[in-house]
A and B are shown apart, each in its own frame.
Chain A
Amino acid sequence: MATTRIINGDRVKQAREIKGLTQEELGTKIGKSQSTIAHLERNSRQLLLQPSEGVIEAIAFETGFPVAFFYQDSGPEFPLGSLLYRTRHSILKREDKHRFHQLGRLIYEVAEKMAHQLTPLENRIPKVVGENPSVAARITRAKLGLLPDAPVRNLLNQIEKNGVFVFAIPYEIDEQDGYSCWTDSEPPRPVIIVTGGKPGDRQRFTLAHELGHLVMHHSFPGGLSKVEAEADEFASELLMPEDAMHREIVAPVTLTSLAELKVRWGVSLAALVMRSKSLGIITERQARYLFVQLARWGEEPDNLKIAPEKPRALKRMAELLHGFPTDHRKVAKHNLSNLELISEILEAHADKPAGALRVAKKPTHTNVVQFSGRRKKA
């Protein structure tokens, strides 16, 4: 006797939200009402009458996901993490928030499936409780094997090598740079999701900020603005250590003198002005003058722009399991997923860097690349 396959409404919702469609918009596209879509997403497992194959095929066509995608289980839980409270303070649209989360969830599921077939990365991200953010940042630097007061190049790579899953969403989402969470898996895994289209210095601050959440905020009780301020302080100390800044930011502070620091420390001019002010190196009024000058530029000039870094781990796993260069169709097929989307996601991640060693032989503590030293010969 043939068994009836049961549609998973959660997958319908996921595909719809990834496409950025409202229930009404999807309904219109497939000739159904909004309430039908809502009902399908909410109750499909309890529906006495399953939707017809034609309806599912229409949804598959409109969302780009294969029909089989809608019949699979929901996969691992993926908490909202810092996205939960970030959105309360930003003007992020609800649709964008859902899209952002569903894309992160989809990538995490793909990665988690591949990770099960690979040796686990050691997680060296500390959980620090009861310390102020600057101390937490110093502890984190030490745990990651970074020198206490040197610039950190390749921050994203440093974070990945130390056990954080960093995934790139191949789209720009207004007002939203990234979010992070500890997954509900056993053991819990730290994950950071970043969006595309942001300058490199901004991306680095986002990474450091989200790392701060992972290190310090394991639950999100009240005082959400305080939590955000703590993550900012953590990021500032991680990227611009207090001792080094007192040594390097010398009066008179001008945009030009800060630009010289920017190219060494990989942070925005605005972040350097804020840091100078918070450390008492410049006064509130001096900071205001500098911000007025920055505002005249609109955005930082091209010669000061830092290219963003791409995460590597997802593509590395795909290469190990599906060959190099990776056939995106195989990854999409393994995950019953949208080929175009999987391709875009993989393209947002880094290829094996030319000349890189294949793997680490053992954990190293020489992760900081000195600027003055530049590159060593391979």
Chain B
Amino acid sequence: MIPTNTRAAQVILEKLGHVPATVHEVMDKAVTLARAFFEERDLPVDPFLFPNIVRYEAKLLFDSPKYRAVGYMLSVLSNNGLLLIYNFESTIYRIRVRKADEDGAFPTQNLSEGVKEFCRQPNLPLWADGIEDWEEFACPEILKLFIIWDVDEAYGFTGCDLACTKNEFGELAFADSIPHSAMSIQVENDFNEWPTEIEDIDFRRLDKTGTGQGDDGDDEDN
């Protein structure tokens, strides 16, 4: 997806907290499970069935306690459509999770009336363009967003994008890629540092009898 008004997208990504990384992680797992569905049956991937299995697996994962703890509500739409509702500050974020079109772009063909309605945000042009101080800006009461997932030609997961539309034609107000969920994992800084209770290497200076004389040696050159 072509990044659009990325500064706005980054501000919204931040406001969504752990939700974007969670969606990324869930969709990665769902794609892996969908691939496994065909692999276990020794069948080639069916391009029509594949996204349905992804959505179904994603629904199960989104509904699991591990991910629900992030704080969204899951609403399942017709045809396994996925809608997450997340409240932050005074805004209700309604997030639809959809697959990218064949070119990896925001899907604008054959949109249902329900999706067209979701795409319409008449109040958005007032603030989505040209506002410099995004951190200070208060979001509208309801902000409708899309998270678009995609796969490569081998059905490997390629990632997710956040997108916000202005109108029923799918014209984008802003869009940007969501960082990989592994980016939210952090190695401890002291991974290879010695714990404080560890002992130093056990060398001692030899005395004249050939045995250790203690743990500290003085400068022999003095």
Measured CB to CB, the closest approach of chain A to B76, in angstroms, equals 21
How far is it, in angstroms, between the C-alpha of A255 and the C-alpha of B154 when the chains are bound?
Answer: 17
- Once the chains bind, are A308 and B192 in contact (CB under 8 Å)? yes
- Once the chains bind, are B39 and A285 in contact (CB under 8 Å)? yes
Closest chain A residue to B203 by CB distance? A118
- CB contacts (< 8 Å) of A254 on chain B: these are 25, 28-29, 32, 157
- CB contacts (< 8 Å) of B197 on chain A: these are 357, 375-376, 378
Closest chain B residue to A263 by CB distance? B187
Q: Give which listed residue, B33, B191, B201, contacts A307 with CB less than 8 A.
A: B191
Q: Give which listed residue, A119, A255, A317, A353, contacts B206 with CB less than 8 A.
A: A119
How far is it, in angstroms, between the C-alpha of A180 and the C-alpha of B186 when the chains are bound?
Answer: 32
- Once the chains bind, are A313 and B201 in contact (CB under 8 Å)? yes
- CB contacts (< 8 Å) of B211 on chain A: these are 119
- CB contacts (< 8 Å) of B204 on chain A: these are 118-119, 320, 359
- CB contacts (< 8 Å) of A306 on chain B: these are 187, 191-192
Identify whether the interface residues of B are mostly helix, strand, loop, or mixed. loop
Total contacts A-B at CB 8 Å = 178
A293 within 8 A of B: yes
Measured CB to CB, the closest approach of chain B to A371, in angstroms, equals 8
- CB contacts (< 8 Å) of A359 on chain B: these are 199-204, 215
How far is it, in angstroms, between the C-alpha of A28 and the C-alpha of B203 when the chains are bound?
Answer: 45
How far is it, in angstroms, between the C-alpha of A357 and the C-alpha of B198 when the chains are bound?
Answer: 6
B205 within 8 A of A: yes
- CB contacts (< 8 Å) of A64 on chain B: these are none
Q: Mark A248-266, 1 if CB is under 8 A from B, else 0.
A: 0001111111011011001
- Once the chains bind, are B29 and A252 in contact (CB under 8 Å)? yes
- Once the chains bind, are B186 and A303 in contact (CB under 8 Å)? yes
Measured CB to CB, the closest approach of chain A to B62, in angstroms, equals 14
B112 within 8 A of A: no
How far is it, in angstroms, between the C-alpha of A304 and the C-alpha of B182 when the chains are bound?
Answer: 8
Measured CB to CB, the closest approach of chain B to A313, in angstroms, equals 5
A278 within 8 A of B: no
Interface residue stretch chosen among A18-26, A153-161, A228-236: A153-161
- CB contacts (< 8 Å) of B218 on chain A: these are 323
Q: Give which listed residue, A160, A262, A303, A321, contacts B217 with CB less than 8 A.
A: A321
- Once the chains bind, are A121 and B191 in contact (CB under 8 Å)? no
Besides A286-B36, A304-B182, A375-B195, 8 more A-B contacts (Cβ < 8 Å) are A117-B206, A256-B185, A292-B152, A320-B204, A353-B196, A356-B198, A360-B202, A364-B199
Give 10 nearest A-B pairs by CB, closest first.
A323-B219, A320-B217, A252-B32, A355-B196, A360-B199, A259-B182, A309-B192, A353-B194, A119-B212, A378-B196
